[in-house]
Amino acid sequence: MTALLVLEKVGKRFGGLQAVKDLSFEVREGEILGLIGPNGAGKSTLFNLINGVFAPDTGRITFVGTDITGEKPYRVARHGLARTHQIVQPLTNMTVLENCTVGACFGKDNLPLHRARAAARDAVAVTGLQDRAEARASQLTIAGKKRLELARALAAQPKLLMLDEVLAGLNPTEVEHMIGVIRRIRERGVTILMIEHLMQAIMSLSDRIVVLNFGQKLAEGVPAEVAQHPQVIEAYLGNPKLAAELQGSSA
């Protein structure tokens, strides 16, 4: 399997806080790579570094063989890299379909408006938002807004989709549905890098897992390996509930 995204010794400091440090790993074509770690571990910051919201202080980020370190977000999007936000960022006064059309228009293929609408419709259907297509984004429930984040990113026809806690705040039925959607997206050949706190879900969805703690990589491997990793268990022991989940989900 070829590497789609390669991070080499990436680092980012906020004032006195080293949010990400010397981080290296790769995302391989076609896989779902899970990114886990305690609160404040630097997971969302890493997404911001990859898609250009912040430039890393050190290191290099390569996407499909192109160096994208420090590129502006809109340029990163053109390379075929789309993401969702942990805190949803809908274009509130636009409809669901219009939100997705923006994604499709300015995404990887830089589509003209009419073709973007078709791509947007498709993304709306895949995420199960058909009934809400003409609703304004502001009228959606939180679960709806989470789906919209996903639909909009998907409409960009990305090679790599980065999901930042799309399951957080959903009830069990909604989680179930969302997991189905993520599986379907993967079947279409989209590579996925996802951050998730819901252990059971991430352990069953991911092909491989990277564990982050204090901005550094603690472990990397298939889910069963990672769950048995002594340092990972120790990191999560600060949160006994999560540690128990970690154990439970690999068993």
Partner 1 sequence: MLLMLRRPFFWIIALAVVAFALAPVVGNDVSMRESLLLDALYITLASNLNLMLGYAGYVNFGSIVFFGLGGYICVWLVNSYNWPLIPSLIVAGLGVSGLALIFGFGILRLRGAFFALATIGVIEAVQAFVENFTPWGGSAGVYLSGEIFKPLGGPAHALWIIYFMMVAVMGLSLYLSFAIKTSKFGLGLLAIGQNEDAAAILGVPTSRYKALVYSVSAFLPAIAGGLYFFKSAFIQPSDAFDLSLSTEALVVGMLGGEGTVTGVAIGAFLYEELRGYLLTSSTFANFQLVVSGALLLLIVLFFPGGLMGFIYSRFPRTQKVLE
39 binds ligand ATP, rule: CB under 6 A: yes
What is the rounded distance in angstroms from the CA atom of residue 35 to the CA atom of residue 220? 9
Q: Which residue in 209, 71, 92, 216 sits closest to 149, CA to CA?
A: 92
Candidates 18, 62, 89, 250; binder of partner 1 (CB under 8 A) is 89
Query: What's phi and psi for 197, nearest 5 deg?
Result: -95, -20
- Here's the x/- map for Mg ion, 68-107, by CB under 5 A: it reads as ------------------x---------------------
Interface segment toward ligand ATP; rule CB under 6 A; list 42-50, 109-117, 125-133, 143-151: 42-50
Query: What's phi and psi for 108, nearest 5 deg?
Result: -55, -45
Cβ 163 to ligand ATP shortest distance, Å: 12
17 binds ligand ATP, rule: CB under 6 A: yes
Cβ 65 to ligand ATP shortest distance, Å: 27
Cα torsion angle, 65, 70, 71, 77, sign:
positive
Cβ 5 to partner 1 shortest distance, Å: 16
Query: What's phi and psi for 210, nearest 5 deg?
Result: -115, 130
Neighbouring residues of 87: CB distance < 8 A, sequence distance ≥ 6:
none
Q: Closer to partner 1 at the Cβ: 120 or 209?
A: 120
Cβ 185 to partner 1 shortest distance, Å: 17
Return the residues of window 76-115 that contact ligand ATP according to CB under 6 A: 86
Cβ 74 to ligand ATP shortest distance, Å: 19
Residue 94: which of Mg ion, partner 1, ligand ATP, none does it interact with, CB under 5 to 8 A by kind?
partner 1
Q: DSSP state, 130?
A: G
Q: Closer to partner 1 at the Cβ: 117 or 217?
A: 117
Residue 14: which of partner 1, ligand ATP, Mg ion, none does it interact with, CB under 5 to 8 A by kind?
ligand ATP
What is the rounded distance in angstroms from the CA atom of residue 225 to the CA atom of residue 217? 15
Looking at this protein, which amino acid is placed at residue 235? A
Cβ 47 to ligand ATP shortest distance, Å: 8
41 binds ligand ATP, rule: CB under 6 A: yes
Specify the DSSP element, H or E, that contains 195: strand 191-195
Q: Treating both helix axes as pointing N-terminal to C-terminal, what angle do 113-126 and 96-106 enclose, rounded to 10 degrees?
A: 120
44 binds Mg ion, rule: CB under 5 A: yes
- Are the CB atoms for 161 and 185 separated by under 8 Å? yes
Q: What is the largest CA-CA distance in the chain?
A: 53
- Are the CB atoms for 167 and 198 separated by under 8 Å? yes
Cβ 164 to ligand ATP shortest distance, Å: 7
Question: What does the binding site for ligand ATP look like in residue numbers (CB under 6 A)?
Answer: 14, 17, 19, 37, 39-45, 86
